[in-house]
Amino acid sequence: MMSTQRAEEPQPGAVPSPESPPPAANADLYRAIFERAADAILVVDSEGRILLANAPAATLSGYAPEALAGLPLVELGVELPTGVTRWQALLSPAAGDRRPVEITCASLGAPLDGHRVLILRDFSDHVEALQSYEQLTAELDDFAHTVAHDLQNPLNNILHAMSMLQGDLLRYPRGTVTQITSVAIRSTHKALSIIDELLLLAGVRQDQQVPILPLQMAAIIAEVQDRLQYLIGDTGATLIVPECWPVALGYAPWVEEVWANYITNAIKYGGEPPVVTLGGDEPQNGYVRFWVEDNGKGIPAEQAEALFRPFTRVQGVRAQGYGLGLSIVRRIVTRLGGDVGVEAAPGGGARFSFTLPTAPADPA
């Protein structure tokens, strides 16, 4: 009797096994994944020489893919640590600065024992963000200490003056009362000035869009003189202002703050009495240079650049500054497309300057 074998029928609910693709299809699939991956991928041999590199790896390294083939990995500044599957390194591209990368490594099995595939991810943006965060944190810490210290003095003066008057106003001569109230008024102006600086700094940091228009510089200077009248009167300062100003582009409220900072410092650090000279040069290369000159002792060249950094005080000056105003000046002028500077004045004092773009020519 002839026996027949029946094919095994699939059980209900069973999933049929897929057919394995032929080796050639596998190779095409892996090559497509390798070439189209968004991350940089390198395949290296047991001696650390690059065998294969995809297009993102070529872009990241600055080498053409064919130039990477056979290149020792250490030429890119990358070493292969033992027993580590993920680490960070500084990649040395063919040109440009070194880049921080995160590397994930996997060993290939037989028949490619000793070979490894590396996936490299550039995390420069993360490093820059972290550095910015750390810098901002340190800056805010210094900022808090600086502002607390500088607000403390005027507020203490106000408190002391008001306490004296509260005790028995009638027992003080009129002249003494005037002196006490003058201290309170000056200290109030000082405190308000610091608060104004803080509000301005917050506004400039917010990257707000402001209208850039031709500036009426004479009107801006008149506003500044009115604001600083109390300081000018108390110190007996003389301001020398030109009759005509070159025209530049900017945002008037911010430019007013620049002048106010410069003039205030020129009065505080100038001679006795202070003589403050303002000016504006003829336009050159599309920019106008404005400046404020004092009659003080000047500033050593090695200390000049530090003045525009936040919370910096220059040693040996007569008056106490709070190290915030000039950093705001730099931030404002930079936002307006110009630059700041300081140099020795012809008369021996200091000359602080800032540049602004010139106004477009009048078609008429």
User: What fold does the segment set 209-364 form as a domain?
Assistant: Heat Shock Protein 90 (3.30.565)
So what's the pLDDT on residue 36?
Answer: 81
So what's the pLDDT on residue 321?
Answer: 44
So what's the pLDDT on residue 140?
Answer: 59
pTM for the model stands at 0.52
Is residue 70 packed enough to be buried (19+ CB in 10 Å), middle (13-18) or exposed (0-12)?
A: exposed
Coil, strand or helix at 98: coil
Q: Which two tokens stand for residue 128?
A: 């820059």
pLDDT tens over the chain, length 364 residues: 444 444 445 445 444 444 544 555 677 777 787 888 888 888 888 888 998 888 888 888 888 878 888 888 888 888 888 777 888 888 887 666 778 888 888 888 777 777 889 988 887 777 666 666 666 666 556 556 556 666 766 777 777 777 777 666 667 777 777 877 887 887 787 777 667 766 666 666 556 678 899 999 999 999 999 888 888 988 999 999 999 999 999 999 889 989 988 998 899 888 889 999 999 999 999 999 999 999 988 876 666 666 666 544 444 433 344 356 777 788 889 889 999 988 888 878 889 999 999 965 443 3
CATH 3.30.450.20, the chain: domain bounds: 30-122
Q: How far apart are CA 302 and CA 121, in angstroms?
A: 41
Count of beta carbons in the 10 Å neighbourhood of residue 291: 19
CATH 3.30.565.10, the chain: domain bounds: 209-364
Count of beta carbons in the 10 Å neighbourhood of residue 105: 17
DSSP result, 250-264: E-HHHHHHHHHHHHH
Is 1.20.20.10 the CATH classification of the domain at 124-207? Answer: no
CATH 1.10.287.130, the chain: domain bounds: 124-207
So what's the pLDDT on residue 132?
Answer: 64
Is 3.30.450.20 the CATH classification of the domain at 30-122? Answer: yes
Cα separation of the two ends of the chain: 117
CA of 266: how far to CAs of 155, 262, 269, 318, in Å?
24, 6, 5, 12
So what's the pLDDT on residue 258?
Answer: 92
* H runs (alpha helix) in the chain: 23-36, 55-61, 65-68, 124-167, 174-205, 217-227, 229-235, 252-269, 301-304, 325-335
So what's the pLDDT on residue 303?
Answer: 66
So what's the pLDDT on residue 364?
Answer: 36
Is residue 347 packed enough to be buried (19+ CB in 10 Å), middle (13-18) or exposed (0-12)?
A: middle
Helices (H) and strands (E) in the chain, counts: 10, 12
List residues bridging with 99 in a β-sheet: 91
Contact 100, 88 (CB under 8 A): yes
Contacts of residue 278, Cβ cutoff 8 Å, sequence gap at least 6: 221, 239, 240, 241, 242, 259, 263, 290, 291, 292, 293
So what's the pLDDT on residue 277?
Answer: 95
